[in-house]
Structure 1
Amino acid sequence: MARRRMIYEGKAKILYEGPEPDTLIQYFKDDATAFNAQKKGVIEGKGVLNNRLSEFFMTGLNQMGVPTHFIKRINMREQLVRMVEIIPLEVVVRNVAAGSMAKRLGIEEGTPLPRPIIEFYLKDDKLGDPLVTEEHIIAFNWASQQDIDDMIALALRVNDYLSGVMYGVGIKLVDFKIEIGRIFEGDFQRLVIADEISPDSCRLWDIETGQKLDKDVFRRDLGNLADAYTEVARRLGVLPRSNGTVKGPKLVQ
């Protein structure tokens, strides 16, 4: 498919004008970032793996009635998605204490939580994506109370689906981040899962060994990130047709 006008470039993806109104082409890059882009690298083949994995998860959610922006995968690095109005919040669901939550609350990493905990973070790289409350969200008109209720319901359904899928292949879903967007249909709006679902946006631990199979491998210099993502794809049966280009990381200064 011929390259179209670029709409937006983020840390891990590029959005191009789609072939039809209200569509976009989402291109997955090989770039890896951590600590609000203070650490950067290029992981050959990462974009291919995340494209296939996000396709797998989004398709599964669509099939179980959880609406997403995903339409179809176009090629090894691109997928066709619906254009949505992104709510400026990251929705994080935590099943096990890890990362910033463990540090912030002084909880030992790996401690199971009594129930899934949902947190909201303002999407603002300059501010470091700060944690915000429902009061902040409503007061600053980032979303309505009905939107918040709908986002929580969607997030919990995604958690149920991902937890089950991962458990079936011996992986513990520690936590994950999703983005949610609005689709307008006449006078009505509908919330859908947008962006991507991949090891970039999840914490995934091997159930038996505790081995990390997510971006913490890159954040904490625990080994080869491509190998970790490839293992997730292998277990789920969604390896790309040719993974010979998946090599080790190249750090970029």
Structure 2
Amino acid sequence: MQLIYQGKTKDVYDLGNHTFLLKFKDDVTGENGVFDPGANTVGLTIEGAGKSGLKMTKFFYERLNSLNIPTHFIAADLDEVTMTVKEAEVLGKGLEVICRYKAVGSFFRRYAAYAQEAQALDALVEVTIKDDERGDPVISEDTLAELGILSKELYQELKALTRKICGIVKEELAKKGLELYDIKLEFGYDKTNKQIMLIDEISGGNMRVYKDGVYITPLALEKEFLA
């Protein structure tokens, strides 16, 4: 098993035969010691965060796989805090896709002149470039096509898939009285058939969830959701 990448919140190992192992860490993104799923730096370390994130990720991926939605998920080992996944080719040099149901976080900061904080949004989809140096800038459909990162046809496929996946996550959370405000996903191409598929994790570390108007932290969310 060869370590090929050390990420902010996970390390990646090559298992061969187009499969990889993701080792979840207890590091989470944020700034100045405050958790922020939209941040591009590690802000703090929370004991148990890795296992907590994997538990939620396992639940959602198993749900999506049962619905025949394309994902990279193969299996998860909660004791080892690892996940086995299919090999994926990233979109461009890495894109993040955000689905927003409420105007909070960076969206509200950008558009505060036009939006009220926490106002309802209609599963609004934004794409950002994974580029720490430039602060992960938002990129439009036209720019993605112009720069050869993603064709307009593939963008529409990505947008529809994002809304479908996030709708499922939102519904599952609502069953426990939890409200999804926004969620950040990543996608890649399946190396074996070039199909777009969901990659990375689906956990409290990449979503904002509230209960009765109060924000739920990632670890508290996992305990509340999987109780």
| TM > 0.5 fold call | yes
Q: Deviations over 1:203-223 (max 9, x none)?
A: 1011x2x2212xxxxxxxxxx
Are 2:112 and 1:112 equivalent residues in the alignment? no
Change (3 A) 1:120 1:78: same
Q: Secondary structure at the match of 2:69?
A: coil
> 1:176 corresponds to which residue?
183
Change (3 A) 1:68 1:39: closer
Q: Give yes or no for contact 1:97–1:110 (8 Å, CA) kept in 2.
A: yes
Matching residue within 85, 92, 108 for 2:98: 92
Percent identity of equivalent pairs: 28
* Letter aligned with residue 212 of structure 1: Y
Q: Deviations over 1:150-190 (max 9, x none)?
A: 111110111210110011101111010100010143xx521
> 1:244 corresponds to which residue?
none
Matching residue within 47, 50, 54 for 1:47: 50
Larger radius of gyration: 1
Alpha-carbon offset, residue 116 of structure 1: 1.3
State the alpha-carbon separation in 1 of the partners of residues 166 and 54 from structure 2.
Answer: 20
Q: Give yes or no for contact 1:66–1:157 (8 Å, CA) kept in 2.
A: no
Matching residue within 126, 132, 138 for 1:131: 138
CA RMSD of aligned residues (A): 1.5
State the alpha-carbon separation in 2 of the partners of residues 197 and 51 from structure 1.
Answer: 8
> 1:203 corresponds to which residue?
208
State the alpha-carbon separation in 1 of the partners of residues 105 and 19 from structure 2.
Answer: 35
Matching residue within 7, 12, 15 for 1:10: 7
Q: Deviations over 1:94-123 (max 9, x none)?
A: 01110111111112221112x211111011
> 1:101 corresponds to which residue?
107
Are 2:147 and 1:143 equivalent residues in the alignment? no
Matching residue within 72, 79, 82 for 2:83: 79
State the alpha-carbon separation in 2 of the partners of residues 104 and 28 from structure 1.
Answer: 31
Matched positions, count: 215
TM-score, normalisation: structure 1: 0.81
Change (3 A) 1:37 1:151: closer
Alpha-carbon offset, residue 40 of structure 1: 2.3
Alpha-carbon offset, residue 235 of structure 1: 2.9
Q: Secondary structure at the match of 1:212?
A: strand
> 1:222 corresponds to which residue?
none
TM-score, normalisation: structure 2: 0.89
Q: Give yes or no for contact 2:100–2:182 (8 Å, CA) kept in 1.
A: yes
Unaligned runs of 5+ residues in structure 1 are 214-227, 239-253
Are 2:13 and 1:24 equivalent residues in the alignment? no
State the alpha-carbon separation in 2 of the partners of residues 38 and 8 from structure 1.
Answer: 16
State the alpha-carbon separation in 1 of the partners of residues 41 and 89 from structure 2.
Answer: 28
Unaligned runs of 5+ residues in structure 2 are 32-38
